[in-house]
Amino acid sequence: MQLLIFTDIDGSLLDFDSYKPGPAVRALEACRRAGVPVILCTSKPSAEVRVLRTILDLDTPYIVENGAAIFFPAGTGVAVAAQQLAESKKWDVSTIEMEDGETFTRLLSGVARAGVVEALGEIAREVGMEVRGISEMTMAEITERTGLPSDQARAATMREFSEPFIVLKGPGDEGRIERTELLELIRPAAERRGLACALGGRFFHLQGRHSKGTAVERAVACYSRAISHSSGSDAVDQKSLLRTMALGDAYNDLEMLAAVDEPVLIRRPDGTHAEGIAFPGLVRTECVGPQGWFEAVMGAFEGEYPSGD
255 binds Mg ion (CB under 5 A): no
Segment interacting with Mg ion (CB under 5 A) among 5-13, 51-59, 132-140, 268-276: 5-13
Give the total of residues touching Mg ion (CB under 5 A). Answer: 6
Please report whether residue 65 would count as binding Mg ion according to CB under 5 A.
no
Nearer to Mg ion, 269 or 303 (CB): 269
Residue of 200, 159, 192, 138 whose CA lies nearest to 69: 159
Please state the φ and ψ torsions of residue 121, each to the nearest 5 degrees: -60, -45
Please, which residue, 4 or 250, has the CB nearer to Mg ion?
A: 250
Residue nearest Mg ion, Cβ-based:
11
**Residue placing its CB nearer to Mg ion in the complex, 8 or 163:** 8
The Cα 62–Cα 70 span in angstroms is 6
Tell me the closest approach of the beta carbon of residue 236 to Mg ion, in angstroms: 35
Query: Please, which residue, 10 or 295, has the CB nearer to Mg ion?
Result: 10
- Choosing from 2, 3, 11, 204, the residue that interacts with Mg ion (CB under 5 A) is 11
The reply on whether position 10 binds Mg ion by CB under 5 A is yes
The residue within the footprint of Mg ion, chosen from 249, 255, 262, 295 (CB under 5 A), is 249
Nearest residue (CB) to Mg ion, 45 versus 201: 201
Residues between 69 and 108 with contacts to Mg ion, criterion CB under 5 A: none
Can residue 8 be called a binding residue for Mg ion (CB under 5 A)?
yes
**What does the per-residue mask of binding to Mg ion show for 198-237, with x meaning CB under 5 A?**
---x------------------------------------
Counting contacts by CB under 5 A, is residue 247 touching Mg ion? no
Nearer to Mg ion, 10 or 15 (CB): 10
Q: How far is the CB of 13 from Mg ion (least distance, A)?
A: 9
Residues at the site binding Mg ion, with contacts judged by CB under 5 A: 8, 10-11, 201, 249-250
